[in-house]
Chain A
Amino acid sequence: MVKQNATPDSSFWIHATVSNVIEQLLEDFELYVAQAVAEELSEEYRSGAWLHGLIREGRVRVRDAGAATLDRFGPGERAAINLAIENPDWVLLMDDLRPFRAAEELGLSPVSSPVYAASLYKRGVLDEQAVLNVLARLSARSTVSPQLIDLALSQVADITKKGRG
């Protein structure tokens, strides 16, 4: 099966590392990171070391947008959004709320790490306790917006109630 392409920003990557969903992410998507995202994530730290290791193995590719449509926000998220603008069929993986909303206003459909975790539950990749563990870990990080966590929690509760159908 052909995988869909996706590009994460640094916040999503850090949270995916904390949630232990990187391998699943690689199963679900062909991952491309913008150079600025790779530069933001230092090899000195766990999430950066993991990313750079995967880049060296060729499991994650580095790609930059040809044009810079967006000039707001930090370098990593800006580069990730520009890459997604240039490749509208790609999934933009992003957690910081302001750029997340800006991406939506630009017509993109960003996916946050809590919602990705909820989708893993929906597909039966994670069971109920496992998805709640992921969301609790993300919550404990305090760098994911509580609104995004609440949204995912509601999805999980809803699926629990109605069944995965």
Chain B
Amino acid sequence: MGTNLKTVSVRLGDQAGARVSKAAQLARQSKGAFLAQAGEEAARHLLLEWAGQRHASGEASLSELAAETGVPIEVIAEHVSAQRSAVATDMYLTSARRLAEALKTPRFYAEAKRAVKAARKDAAGGGSE
């Protein structure tokens, strides 16, 4: 990564300016550093939301989204997972139940349920990535 810094000027109203001054003081940062960090965090949040939606709709792959947003591929993957894990594992269980019924192997569904329980526990612990 290069270390070139870009300058962005912002104009704030009196109240907004006062709030930024106070917040920067509390964060023990200069107003410029505070705004730069806030802007970076807001941009990252917005890009992750956008990337998550694009991936969910099948419009773009993780690789494309990482290239387009500059956000690491693992961070996008983690975000997608946090957003949709519950729905996805429900779908998995539905499929497993349907298969267990069709093939008359109830044990298969019981094992799938155990697997989902463990996967959800893993996901909640954030231990995967």
Q: B-contacting residues of A (Cβ < 8 Å)? A: 9-11, 14, 17-18, 40-42, 44-48, 73-78, 96-99, 128-129, 132-133, 135-137, 139-143, 145-146, 149-150, 153-154, 157-158, 160-161
Contacts and interface: CB of A to CB of B under 8 A. Distances in A.
Contacts of A11: 61-63, 73, 77
Nearest to B66: A40
Given A11-B63, A48-B74, A150-B95, A140 B85 contact: yes
A48 B129 CA distance: 9
B40 interface: no
B34 interface: no
Contacts of A160: 103, 105, 108
Given A136-B112, A139-B89, A141-B81, A161 B123 contact: no
Q: Is the interface of B mostly helix, strand, loop or mixed?
A: helix
B50 to A, nearest CB: 15
Contacts of B64: 73-74, 77
Contact of B114 (A10, A96, A129, A161): A129
